[in-house]
A = this chain, B = another copy of it.
Amino acid sequence: MNGAHALLKTLTHNNVTTCFANPGTSEMHFVAGLDDVSEMRGILCLFEGVATGAADGYARVTGRPAATLLHLGPGLANGWANLHNARRARVPLLNIVGDHATYHTQYDSPLQSDIAAIASSLKGWQRSTQSPNEVAQDAADAVSAAYGPPGRIATLVLPANVSWGEVTNEPNEWPLASRVSLAEPDEHLIGQSINVLRTKKAALLVGGDAVTGERLALAQRVAHATGARLIMETFPTIMDRGAGVVSPERLIYLSEFAIPQLQDLEALILIGSTAPVGFFAHPDVKSRLTSDQCEVIDLAPPGCDTSAALRALVDGLEAPVVASPSGEGPGVPHGELTSQSLAAAVAATIPEGLIIADESITGGIHLYGATQFSLPHRLMTLSGGSIGFGLPSAVGAAVGSGQRVLALEADGSMMYTLQALWTMARESLDVTVVGLSNRSYAILTLERQRVGAVTDGLASQRMLELDNPTIDLCALASAQGVPSTRVTTTDELVSALQRSYATPGPMFIEAVLPKGLT
């Protein structure tokens, strides 16, 4: 048995059973091992950013790490942007990065690079395995590191000769990853939180794993009992949403609106979230979004048990059960296609259990408001702000959940990782993609105003427009094997969504919006 085989055995023994792969020469023994270790499902991706984004989506829906298989420094770098999103989402994820044989690196051959430096920028765990006999334990350690808690990016570098070298210490049983329990919330901070909830104008800011239906219900009990506001972080990893699920106020993305949103607060209690700061700095706008007078209590930082924290507040406050929120399900919209009617169309057609991967940027701005009373579903968002998340994460979510996934993409953001469409077709994944075509980087038109960089020149305008030439999104999808359709009215969109949800496999819907619509 060689090192690659031992790696596959250890991973599958630890319930890491999916590998999103874009292999090269150094990874051929791992690939060959897929024939022997059938418990591992290898899924080919045509670009590494697809593999890493898929592993992120997989982890969001399953709570378990998938492996990626990446080729040397370039492979890890190509996957970096979506690893950044996964890092910010605090999901467990395991990179297997092939490297040159250990004795070969001294020669600085063309593909030699500083993999360790790239991996270090992900602020997770990393190790380069130095012999076939160390593979199994290193793999178990990597899985352990990936789980955290909180989840993190673990990068295991596998030199080619470690991969093909013989394992001479084959164990009776492959090592299991040690698992660390969630930290208990601090008693003192619980007391302090209860006190400010009773005495101050306070809010709970929930995020991380505290946005499940169950935890949101606990949070709402706390809010009802004390008059506190219940606010959610702007870009949740994955949240429960729809009828019967508490719908928290969402922290506004734009600092200039978020600051007034929070300015009356005297206390903010963080549960699975971090202290709110501006996504970007803008001239004459504060970075910290709470007022200087606001007391911020970090009750359950990432890695802490948010369920226990919420329950402690409920118990301490003797907060009564609150009825599930109810309201009329969204009606089917008609007429012109705008970002409002698009959100309404999505909301009206959501099948129960749908997972939405939202990277629609400006085009999807009305989505959150529209889906409050849709059928129960889950929402994944762009936690790290690194564009190219939507399609890959939809791949991983579909693989991990077996449920239908709806990816909401914009034309600008879709172009970063459009190769994910091919994997959807190859694996016959139940993914519906809505590609919002507004022929512009509309977010940048907005941001340009916010940072005060508006001019009336054409040279700069040309950097924000995508309509010369216009991209045929449908053709990009069908060229990669995904059936596609173009819609220009709300009625057409509703019907295309319904058709896709009723049809196994992927479908691409290009939704043509007015140019530059934000």
Contact = CB atoms under 8 A, between A and B. Distances in A.
A460 B34 contact: yes
B384 A460 contact: no
Copies in the complex: 2
Contacts of A479: 471-476, 479
A120 interface: yes
A44 B461 CA distance: 11
Interface of A: 21, 23-26, 28-29, 31-36, 38, 42, 44, 46-47, 49, 73-74, 77-78, 80-81, 84, 88, 100-101, 103-104, 106-111, 113-115, 117-118, 120-121, 123, 160-161, 164, 235, 274-275, 277-281, 283, 287-288, 383-388, 412, 415-416, 418-419, 422, 425-426, 443-444, 447-448, 450-460, 462-464, 466, 468-476, 478-481
21 contacts: A25-B443, A29-B453, A32-B448, A34-B457, A35-B455, A35-B456, A36-B457, A42-B459, A44-B462, A46-B416, A73-B84, A77-B78, A103-B281, A110-B279, A111-B280, A111-B384, A114-B121, A114-B123, A160-B280, A161-B281, A475-B479
Contacts of A24: 444, 447
Given A418-B419, A475-B476, A476-B480, 17 more contacts: A24-B444, A34-B457, A34-B463, A35-B456, A47-B415, A74-B385, A74-B386, A77-B77, A77-B118, A101-B287, A107-B287, A109-B279, A415-B419, A426-B469, A471-B481, A473-B479, A475-B475
A36 B31 CA distance: 53
A316 to B, nearest CB: 30
Which of A38, A109, A279 has the largest number of chain B CB atoms within 10 A?
A: A109
Contacts of A32: 448, 453-455, 457, 460
A272 to B, nearest CB: 15
A137 B464 CA distance: 29
B425 A469 contact: yes
A133 to B, nearest CB: 18
Contact of A46 (B415, B474, B481): B415
Which of A77, A110, A274 has the largest number of chain B CB atoms within 10 A?
A: A110
B120 A277 contact: no
A228 to B, nearest CB: 24
A284 to B, nearest CB: 10
Contact of A35 (B21, B80, B84, B460): B460
Contacts of A448: 28, 31-32
B107 A28 contact: no
Contact of A47 (B42, B80, B386, B416): B416
A356 to B, nearest CB: 19
Contacts of A25: 280, 443-444, 447, 450-451
Contacts of A74: 80-81, 84, 384-387
A101 B42 contact: no
B385 A110 contact: yes
A471 B422 contact: yes
A280 to B, nearest CB: 5
Contact of A121 (B36, B107, B118, B426): B118
Given A415-B47, A453-B29, A475-B479, A287 B447 contact: no
Sort A-B residue pairs by CB-CB distance and give the 8 closest, nearest first. Answer: A35-B457, A469-B481, A77-B80, A475-B479, A101-B281, A104-B281, A117-B121, A107-B277
Contact of A462 (B42, B117, B473): B42
Contacts of A36: 455, 457
A385 B100 CA distance: 13
A415 B476 CA distance: 12
